[in-house]
Amino acid sequence: MVEHIDLRGVAFSRRPGLRAQLGIAAGDPLDEAAVQDGRVALLATGLFEQVQVRLAKGKARGHVKVIYDCTERVTTSIEGMHLGHARPTNLWGGIQLADLDPFGLGLAVDGGFVASGSQGAVQLGAGPRDLFGTDLRLHVQAHALFGDEPFVGPRGQGTTADGALDQVPGAYRRLGLEASLTAPIGATARLHFGLRGERVDHDLPEDAWQVDPDGVQRPFQFDLNEGWLGAASLGVEFDTRNDPAFPSRGVRASLHGRAGWLGGPFAAVLTGFENYFRLPFGHVVQLNLRAGAVFGDAPFFERWFIGDLHPYVPERSLGLNFARRRGPNLLDGPIREQRYETVAGRLGMEYRIPLKQRTAADPYAVELFVGTALVSLGTPGERGGADALDPGTPLDLAVDAGLRIESKIGVMGLSLGNLFLVVDP
């Protein structure tokens, strides 16, 4: 008779869930086939590199202990790190983590937070690794954002009470829930469907004003309504890359659309394309394209942000923006006035030099990269448009270089763009 089942080398949080999947329990008659089936069940979870099983003498006569010696894989990964310094926030920080199955229940969990001063955001998500035993993936995520956006106008801003200001503070809150379903299409494509609902509230100064590109002072356009936001999204992704972290050949292409309502209807379309070529001497060239457009009464956080496109501007962290910085405007054009806009595009190229290859015995890899891109961001037909005093296409040049390092817990980048996260010129 089985007296006890010992799971050695298994995280404490996973033991109850994994014991339920073994097919045997304490008090059952000893069945060697069932014991081996339990080993197979543990390996099938994907959480272990090795599982060995052995029997040991129990305390009572005729009783045995079943011992599973397990070697766990590293299943926790860093999905993102948020650290920066820029006016007016000073310093902000946060992290995003994910685990393949922290409780041994076949349930993947992820979460993250970021905070600084009056701003903060937290999100927590979970979903079964295989829905109803199929290849479908369901993910449900809750989020809470407490923002204090440093709003800036095209050529100046302020309030009637305080006069001209470096930025107009705009406090807002977003509390919501999002569910997404991913279905594979063959071996190289996936279909995504999502639903999102959230409550949006704000406390915006009613006497705020901005100076538009034509030099006229007008009421500030916050592009934010209060109320319930509902949105649905649909997307398809095609991926033939030979490695998700450091690919040397293959293509990744995507097309996503979403439609929603917050005080009025809005919609958005986003497309992306990446192509990787391996050169005869082992170096890799990547060509990439991103483009998208937003239509209707979209709130500012649903629009394109300059930090989404340019490495010298801090990107949004869990939906929050901590900096009032604009694009560097290396081409001296009207893009210096753009922050949140409805049309965007990015065409770039990256040259990659592998410095260390990943092996079965050593999971670490390092590559050197140098990249450049043309960035465009604007809102066609906006009031007092960019061509009122400064004709031309809102274009800018982005140049970045640095290292990427892959480890068991994720990929980390160190680049020129990272420098501008801590240095605010």
pLDDT digit string, tens, across residues 368-384: 999 999 999 988 876 44
Q: Could you give the CA distance from residue 110 to residue 198 in angstroms, rounded to a whole number?
A: 19
Q: Could you give the CA distance from residue 248 to residue 357 in angstroms, rounded to a whole number?
A: 12
Last residue of a domain, one of 19, 45, 72: 72
pLDDT class of 386 with cuts at 50, 70, 90: very low
How does pLDDT run across 25-64, given as a tens digit for each residue? 888 998 889 999 999 999 988 889 899 999 998 888 889 9
Checking if the pLDDT of 388 tops 50, the result is no
pLDDT class of 208 with cuts at 50, 70, 90: very high
Strands (E) located in 152-207: 157-159, 163-164, 168-185, 189-203
Structure-block tokens of residue 412: 């980390």
Checking if the pLDDT of 115 tops 80, the result is yes
Query: Residue 421: what pLDDT?
Result: 74
Is the backbone of residue 328 left (phi > 0), alpha (psi -120 to 50) or beta?
A: alpha
Checking if the pLDDT of 88 tops 90, the result is no
- Residue 58 shares a structural domain with residue 141: no
Structure-block tokens of residue 217: 């002072």
Is the C-alpha dihedral spanning 303, 304, 306, 307 positive or negative? positive
pLDDT class of 425 with cuts at 50, 70, 90: low
Cα 146 from chain centroid (whole Å): 18
- Residue 122 shares a structural domain with residue 41: no
Structure-block tokens of residue 332: 């001296």
Q: The domain that contains 304 carries what CATH number?
A: 2.40.160.50
Q: The domain that contains 8 carries what CATH number?
A: 3.10.20.310
CB-based burial, 111-136: b 16+ in 10 Å, e otherwise = bbbbbbeebbbbbebbbbeebeeeee
Report the Cα–Cα distance between both ends of the chain, in Å, rounded: 72
- Residue 106 shares a structural domain with residue 53: no
Give the residue among 324, 344, 323, 349 at the shortest CA–CA distance from 394: 344
Enclosing domain of residue 343: 76-422
Residue type, 341: E
Average pLDDT over residues 99-103: 90
Place of tokens 């063959």: 186
Structure-block tokens of residue 420: 């501008």
- Residue 201 shares a structural domain with residue 224: yes
- Residue 379 shares a structural domain with residue 392: yes
CB 30 within 8 A of CB 64: yes
Backbone φ, ψ for residue 165 (5° rounding): -130, 160
How does pLDDT run across 130-159, given as a tens digit for each residue? 887 788 999 999 999 999 998 988 888 999
What is each CA distance from 197 to 141, 175, 177, 260, in whole angstroms?
11, 9, 6, 9
- Residue 175 shares a structural domain with residue 61: no
- Residue 67 shares a structural domain with residue 85: no
Beta-sheet pairing, 227-239 with 189-203 = antiparallel
- Residue 132 shares a structural domain with residue 34: no
- Residue 409 shares a structural domain with residue 264: yes
Query: Residue 392: what pLDDT?
Result: 63
Give the residue among 367, 376, 422 at the shortest CA–CA distance from 398: 376
- Residue 229 shares a structural domain with residue 275: yes
Last residue of a domain, one of 44, 72, 100: 72
Checking if the pLDDT of 246 tops 50, the result is yes
- Residue 44 shares a structural domain with residue 118: no
Q: pTM (2 decimals)?
A: 0.85
Q: Which residue has the higher pLDDT, 125 or 13?
A: 125
Tell me, what DSSP letter sits at residue 117? T
User: What is the domain count for the chain?
Assistant: 2
Average pLDDT over residues 252-265: 96
Is the backbone of residue 392 left (phi > 0), alpha (psi -120 to 50) or beta?
A: left
Query: Residue 383: what pLDDT?
Result: 45
Helix (H, G, I), strand (E, B) or coil at 144: strand
pLDDT class of 106 with cuts at 50, 70, 90: confident
Q: Could you give the CA distance from residue 299 to residue 322 in angstroms, rounded to a whole number?
A: 17
Tell me, what DSSP letter sits at residue 212? -
Average pLDDT over residues 344-349: 96
Checking if the pLDDT of 349 tops 50, the result is yes
CB 129 within 8 A of CB 106: yes
- Residue 345 shares a structural domain with residue 291: yes
Last residue of a domain, one of 16, 45, 72: 72
